[in-house]
Structure 1
Amino acid sequence: MITIYHNPMCSKSRECLQLLELEQLPFTTVKYLNEPLSKKEMKELLKKLGIKPIELVRQKEAVWTSGYKDKKLTDTQIVEALVQHPILIERPIVVNGDKAIIARPADKVHDIL
């Protein structure tokens, strides 16, 4: 099953959602700002993405620049920040089975379908 972690306020996320709809494949939408991921889910997502936690952080977000930017954080602390502040999560993320990608640009979603 395909899952998109979606932020409706983000144009890139909306664009990716439209591409998935055009493919007419079944998928689930998770509005992660309304349905925050648990620490366990975040770790699983990072494993599927194959990236370090810092690579998932939107480092220009005010929450990051004001609270975390100049601190030396462990991967665990970054995961905790992502769970506590889901706005920090780079988007959109598309998961297909045991693989995931950050679909930026949106047409990158085709790499995982």
Structure 2
Amino acid sequence: MIKIYHNPRCSKSRQGLSILEESGKSFEIIKYLENDFTSIELEDIIIKLGIKPIELVRKNETIWKSDYKGKTLSDNEIIAAMVNHPKLIERPIVVNGDKAVVGRPPESILEII
């Protein structure tokens, strides 16, 4: 089943949700700010995205700038930061089987549905 990790307050996330709704395919909405990721879940998504953990971080978030920017962090430490502060995670993320994309731009979702 297709999953969208969604933040309703984010315009790109809402656009991504709209693309999924228009596709007519069934999908699950996961409001990741309400339903926290585990490290294992986040690691799995990062593998499906085919990126480094740092590439999933929203580096303009205040918490990143105040607590993490300029520090040398391991991949595990970056994942832990995102688990502890889910606002740091780029959004939306759409997962379909063993593939995933970050919906920036939202049209990139079309590649995997």
TM-score, with length taken from structure 1: 0.99
| Structure-1 residue corresponding to 2:34 | 34
| 1:26-48 Cα deviation digits (max 9, x unpaired) | 00000000001001101111111
Unaligned runs of 5+ in 2: none
- Aligned AA for 1:15? Q
SS state of the match for residue 29, structure 2? strand
Q: CA deviation at 1:70?
A: 1.2
> What is the alpha-carbon distance in structure 2 between the residues aligned to residue 110 and residue 29 of structure 1?
17
| Other-structure match for 2:69 | 69
What amino acid is the match of 1:70?
Answer: G
Q: Equivalent residues in 2 for 1:1-113 (5 A)? A: 1-113=1-113
The runs of 5 or more residues in structure 1 that have no matched partner are: none
Identity, in percent, stands at: 53
Corresponding pairs, count:
113
Following superposition, the deviation at residue 108 of structure 1 comes to 1.0
Scaled by the length of structure 2, what TM-score is found? Answer: 0.99
Deviations 1:55-82 (A, max 9, x none): 0000000010000001110001000001
